[in-house]
């Protein structure tokens, strides 16, 4: 894969959040006005080809991607939140993690029946969280047509597990 110029704005943090993990920190990208604008513009271009009616941003850094891309495309977005964070009627999906499980929620009225939805997040690794978001979109009647991420850790095979196309700006 060719070296994307925005990769220089991703900070590698070894052994975070635990020993043996190399964390890809997007903070320097967010802090660079020109770099962030390029990232959002490129994400919007990639997302637009799926003709979404709405976006879904995954808690919490996925909101950082979904909000400006939705603005640029002139569409809305819904928040996929960790359990207990949404104040209205929700649907939920529990999924397995390496150790234990987690639950995500979405407002029950987030999407109209059949609405085309692109799910946005900062990073795609094993695909567990993204897969849960795909199921949530379906449970609310939406049609998940793609996943769009800033970063993909390709060696972990997350994209292959989703059953929908995925777009990643930076692949490691």
Cα–Cα distance for residue pair 48/164, rounded to 1 Å: 15
- Share the mean pLDDT of the chain: 96
pLDDT in tens, 107-157: 999 999 999 999 999 999 999 999 999 999 999 999 999 999 999 999 999
Question: How confident is the model at residue 99, as a pLDDT?
Answer: 78
Question: How confident is the model at residue 98, as a pLDDT?
Answer: 74
Q: Token pair for residue 32?
A: 């660079």
Q: Token pair for residue 107?
A: 């407002």
Q: What is the mean pLDDT of residues 81-88?
A: 96
Q: What is the mean pLDDT of residues 13-32?
A: 95
pLDDT beyond 70 at 2? no
Q: Token pair for residue 41?
A: 């513009």
Q: Give the residue numbers annotated as catalytic, written as ranges.
A: 61, 98
Cα–Cα distance for residue pair 134/41, rounded to 1 Å: 24
Q: What is the mean pLDDT of residues 47-68?
A: 98
Q: Which long-range contacts (C-beta less than 8 Å, at least 24 apart) are formed by 98-106?
A: 102/129, 102/132, 104/58, 104/59, 104/80, 104/129, 104/132, 104/133, 104/136, 105/80, 105/81, 105/136, 106/56, 106/78, 106/79, 106/80, 106/81, 106/136, 106/137, 106/139, 106/140
Cα–Cα distance for residue pair 46/166, rounded to 1 Å: 10
**Helix, strand, coil % in the chain, rounded to nearest 5:** 35, 35, 35
**What is the band of 97 on the pLDDT scale with cuts at 50, 70, 90?**
confident
Q: How many residues does the chain have?
A: 172
Residue found by looking up tokens 């991607």 in the block: 65
Say if residues 158 and 127 touch (Cβ distance below 8 Å).
yes
pLDDT beyond 70 at 75? yes
Question: How confident is the model at residue 100, as a pLDDT?
Answer: 82
pLDDT beyond 60 at 1? no
Cα–Cα distance for residue pair 136/94, rounded to 1 Å: 10
């Amino acid at each position: 894969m060719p070296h994307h110029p925005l990769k220089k704005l991703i900070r590698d943090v070894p052994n975070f959040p635990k020993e043996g993990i190399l964390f890809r920190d997007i903070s320097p990208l967010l802090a660079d006005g020109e770099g962030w604008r390029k990232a959002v513009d490129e994400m919007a271009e990639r997302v637009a080809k799926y003709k979404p009616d709405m976006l879904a941003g995954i808690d919490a850094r996925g909101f950082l991607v979904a909000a400006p891309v939705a603005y640029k495309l002139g569409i809305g977005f819904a928040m996929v939140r960790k359990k207990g964070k949404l104040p209205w009627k929700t649907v939920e999906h529990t999924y397995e993690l390496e150790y234990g499980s987690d639950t995500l929620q979405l407002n029950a009225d987030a999407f109209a029946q059949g609405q085309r939805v692109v799910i946005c997040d900062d990073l795609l690794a094993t695909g567990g969280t993204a897969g849960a978001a795909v199921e949530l979109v379906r449970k609310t009647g939406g049609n998940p047509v793609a996943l769009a991420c800033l970063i993909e850790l390709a060696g972990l095979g997350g994209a292959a597990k989703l059953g929908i196309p995925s777009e990643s700006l930076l692949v490691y």
